[in-house]
A and B are shown apart, each in its own frame.
Chain A
Amino acid sequence: MRIALFATCLADTMFPAAAKATVQLLERLGHEVVFPEEQTCCGQMHVNTGYQKEALPLVRRYVRTFESCDVIVAPSGSCVGSIRHQHAMVARQAGEEGLASRAETVAGRTYELSELLIDVLKVEDVGAYYPHRVTYHPTCHSLRVLRVGDRPLRLLRQVRGLDLVELPAAEQCCGFGGTFAVKNADTSTAMLADKMRHVLDTGADVCTAGDASCLMHIGGGLSRLQSGVRTVHLAEILASTEAGS
């Protein structure tokens, strides 16, 4: 299958390993990956901070960049959530009904990585090998906006060598929330403290999730604690093989 990658601005700029791993994983599974270079950002930060007018060109850009693609994947539950639940709304708010319906069509072909693997490519065992003790944080937008459910866990359970440990109070937000982490830094930090305590309680050496943004938050806190626990994107685990990826 020919699959277009939406890398997301955060992974493209700060966490390229997550986007690279998505490419390597899909190619290993026998698919062709394309990367339309006109892509930048889905506009979620603007929409969620109250700048819908500013987000409009970014919605238009996403639609224009990807509307010729049959299947689009992004290694982020949050960005896909925004594409699926906000793009058409932003267009409608601006009175652009035509753009809104195009946005709906493109959103319908845009998948978060675990959705693509399980629902479209019908694969649970991706042939990965990752000999670590891992705990999975289901990010809020994967869980409650996209409803990915246990798809990421089903993928992780098939990874050879991986010791999956359950995260207590997993469904509670890590406290990132985009600009929330800056505008309400103290509350965000209090939420993060509890999330980190739960991660450390598992004894895992790796905390994974489907969103680089939440991992940046949790990882930034764990790094400050010098805890030794690493944050690794789900795509990177699934891309790992015995031979090295």
Chain B
Amino acid sequence: MKRSRLMAAALGAALAVSAAAGCGSGAGNDASTLTFLSWTGEEQMQPILDAFHEANPDITVEASYAPPVAEYIQTLQTRVLSGTAPDVFMIAAENKTSLIEGGHVVDLTNEPFMDKIPDFNKETYGRDGRVYGMSVSSWAAGYLYNKDLLAQVGYDSVPESWDEFLVMCEELQAAGVTPFLESVDQMPTTVSAWIGAKSYEMEPTLDELIFSGESTFEEQWTPALEEYNRLFTEGIVAKDVVGLDGDMVRDEFANGRVAVINAGPWVINAIREASPDLEFEFAPVPALPDGTPFQAGAATPGYAINSQASEEKQAMAKKFLDFLASPEGVAVFEEQTNDVTVTSDFEPTPDPAFEPLAAAIREGRLYLPMISWQRSEDVLNVEAVAQIQRMIQGQVDPAGVATALDTKLASS
């Protein structure tokens, strides 16, 4: 009796150890298996993996999934820390500093497939001239307008200048139409686009000046914030927008209750589903004086290779990335994700409503503060969003928002 109990205990312990060993290994046990932690959902990613397996029958990709953003970042971080990171994973704005500085990702600079990737996407996931992530697409957000509501006041598109845009908003208000809504639960699209337009014309860039200590947020951001605050001080937009998220703003637009909103291509399907007859189109954010219309946006997260993976696995991972950057791979990727791809040997076909922003994506005329900031990205982003909400409520002036960012940068 005692012996059988001992045997059972030993067997249980052996099973536990072997299970733990199985779980603990980041790399697949099979030499032909590549492990991959996907940011994209299984429904969209599996056809891409199937296409890769068809083109490379000797390699099987064993994918696991974690939804963006926080859950993905935490899952990957835990696996990196415990030495069980997959062979291929996504490098994003939220983890690029830690992954690059910690030496967790392979330098992809000289890989042949990187020749197809535009500089804008390479720089996003690079450091000191080296590139650590392969980003094959970008996204942009601008203004989405209801063609019929604008036509009521004699406009066929959003004006190119901010002053003209404010005049149009007043005319819409006079006609009993809510002119504009922008969710401010994240960095406002308008502010991102204006800062981006300014930075695009600068050398060194606006963020290089701020993060090197040659300039400050107060100097660079205050004029844009003052213009943005006119929406609220002049009564064009109600202060209640601070309680709205992107989905609420989208629903107001889909129901024809607002003429212009901030949005990206991710709202297109939901709006078409809710209001099939609604006529709408995207436009860049109107320009401030001396500026040009611009758009918020960034390179999508890049594929990165685990530096701790064996040489064989790294070679297989490079084959995987080579396929993802190939016209065949990009075609399946575009079909599944609807992203605007940026590789040089594939021409994407974006939704007609999104055409006005697609060219800017291909040219890399995009800006998102959180991506462009050189450190403390999320710390500054949380602070900026909260302070802009306070500015809209009248609790702090535009210079106060910028000063708060300077203080945060100094203390983090």
Task: Determine if chain A interacts with chain B.
Answer: no
A-binding residues in B (CB < 8 A): none
